[in-house]
Structure 1
């Protein structure tokens, strides 16, 4: 039996998510949103149990459930994560676990004829994945025993090769300014070099006990970095190598396991919050975690955003968001607009070093160009940036504006 594989494309605001939801409803299927963190329940202590939650009632035995979960995990290359806690994964690993929790539906009863598998509609399912994981996901899509569709703002050749049909929704939200020209004039940054020597990092914060010293196993070690004012570093590496952990460590949110780390001559994790955010601003993979206020304008005035001139905050907002967004709740923005707002807020803080974790996730080409121009503007006025990304288009676009440095992080260090 032949199943449909539909690729839905379109610019920001073109209605891709709404089209996916309608597609799934018409087929009595399931729509899977683009935020993997929101799809993880956190109700169970292992990845295996998280994947099993959706099919527990559809199997006839524990053995069948075990086979289905392990088959879905093997498809996506996450068998080694089955005993891990689902809330202690990297962004890419979280994405894979969220996908496995739905793709396991095609493994119930070991069926390959699709009798019980529902149609699935995924919103940007490849965000934050390295090339090897992308290949595994698309191969799993090809084997899924029912119709399947997914949305992609900037589809690559491997996605187009898999699709049996394509729906292009065209243009969406208008871009306020040309992405090829500087969007805003940023103030000069305070010079602060980033230095790391034989750094070892862990996503776990050690627990202080007077009678016992906790020993942490580093996720990566032997990291040595020199980042001068004006430098832009592209940080790459496979999913789970520790890229997000490294950014959080440089931001001072995690202490190093070993080695030396300083920004502007001081260890970031030993500074109080106001001093830390003056040194670095971290824009995380999940931008919704940044927002605290009920409107965009109010949120941009929180924290170190108060240091920025009102005209600069307005210019940054209008450069990345549609007109009239000032009174919109940040969580009512499109997911891609939330990424852009988080970047705008980080720039408004005037920190010396920007730490960006997959800043172009889900962005169309104009949005990606906006991100590149803003990063370049920050570095041009004496700031530095570390960009963790699996997006080669972002790297290529940044290289048109800045000389780039590269560092590949592997779990072996």
Structure 2
């Protein structure tokens, strides 16, 4: 399964932030998004994930291929670690959560309520959800926030295993994860919202 963007323009609040983007993410590939804060990396990922439509261009990918990891961990605080993973596993039609618990060093926390976890533990649990989705393409926005060095290593190992089995990952991050990856800098694609020919697009994003 591969993801292809063709001449893509994405917007924030109806104002174009990136334009003319074209790239392909192939099976077995890791592509790292780089660019200054506010350059549009999150907006691009949200557009690729289908949370908002592009202003122009198109995104081509197989149905039900995407697992999106945003800034929020997406956890239910009153559920335990195992219950959170079991919920997401049931949503995606999988059953076995043990590999996810093991991969992200959560076995000893399986019966702990998510609301009682530290920030780093919550992030590990949020990332562990990727492993129970069964989705081939991971879109990840600063996934290592709140992680210590050891946990960053766990995450990098999970990505390596995923792509080795034919998956793919598009990751917005400022740190070196030690992965064999290509770099895609969004800076050259910055849109000029004040260009004379530019007219603000209608606000049509799913979330702000």
| Both proteins in one fold, TM over 0.5 | yes
Is structure 2 residue 165 aligned with structure 1 residue 372? no
The normalised TM-score by structure 1 is: 0.43
Q: 2:81: which partner in 1?
A: 296
Q: Conserved in 1, the CA contact under 8 Å of 2:12 and 2:43?
A: yes
Q: Distance in 2 between matches of 1:371 and 1:303?
A: 19
Partner Cα separation in structure 1 for residue 140 and residue 167 of structure 2:
13
What are the equivalent positions in structure 2 for 1:313-392 lying under 5 Å apart?
313-392=97-176
**Does the C-alpha gap of structure 1 residues 260 and 373 become closer, same or farther in structure 2, counting only changes over 3 Å?**
same
Matches of 2:88 and 2:106, distance apart in 1: 24
Instruction: Return the offset for 1:301.
Output: 2.0
Count of residues paired in the alignment: 188
Partner of 1:202: 11
Q: Kindly indicate whether residue 186 of structure 2 is the aligned counterpart of residue 409 of structure 1.
A: yes
* Per-residue deviation, 1:304: 4.9
Taking a change above 3 Å as real, the CA distance of residues 233 and 200 of structure 1, as seen in their structure-2 partners, is same
Aligned pairs for 1:268-283 within 5 A: 278-283=64-69
Question: What's the offset of the Cα at 1:322?
Answer: 4.3
Determine the C-alpha separation between the residues in 2 that align with 1:193 and 1:318: 28
8 A Cα contact 2:34 2:184, kept in partner = yes
CA contact (8 A) 2:3 2:60 kept: yes
Question: Are the structure 2 counterparts of residues 309 and 343 from structure 1 closer, same or farther at C-alpha, using a change threshold of 3 Å?
Answer: same
Does structure 2 retain, via aligned residues, the 8 Å contact 1:247–1:355?
yes
Relative contact order higher in (CA < 8 Å, ≥ 6 apart): 2
Tell me, what secondary structure is at the counterpart of 2:130?
helix
Return the structure number with greater helix share: 1
TM-score by length of 2: 0.83
Distance 1:321 1:331, change over 3 A: farther
Cα distance, 1:232 vs structure 2:
0.7
Residue pairs, 1:10-409, within 5 angstroms = 192-204=1-13, 216-264=14-62, 278-287=64-73, 290-292=74-76, 294-305=79-90, 306-310=92-96, 313-392=97-176, 394=177, 397-399=178-180, 404-409=181-186
Whether contact under 8 Å (2:86, 2:95) holds in the other structure is: no
| C-alpha distance in 2 between matches for 1:223 and 1:304 | 34
CA distance in 2 between counterparts of 1:233 and 1:370 reads 18
**Shift of the alpha carbon at 1:302?**
2.3
- Aligned partners of 1:351 and 1:322: how far apart in 2? 21
Q: Which has the higher strand share?
A: 2
Cα offset, 1:346, TM superposition: 1.3
Contact 1:300 1:345 in 2 (8 A): yes
* Pair member with larger Rg: 1
Whole-angstrom distance in 2 between the partners of 1:398 and 1:381: 15
The Cα shift of 1:374 comes to 0.1
d(CA) in 2 for partners of 1:347, 1:299: 13
Cα distance, 1:377 vs structure 2: 0.6
Cα distance per residue 1:118-144 (max 9 Å; x no partner): xxxxxxxxxxxxxxxxxxxxxxxxxxx
Q: Secondary structure at the match of 1:366?
A: helix
In structure 1, distance between residues paired with 2:102 and 2:118: 15
Gaps of 5+ in 1: 1-191, 205-215, 265-274
Q: Structure 2: 5+ residue runs without aligned partners?
A: 192-208
Q: Quick one: distance in 2 between partners of 1:224 and 1:335?
A: 35
Answer yes or no: is the 8 Å Cα contact 2:2–2:26 preserved in 1: yes
Cα RMSD (Å): 1.7
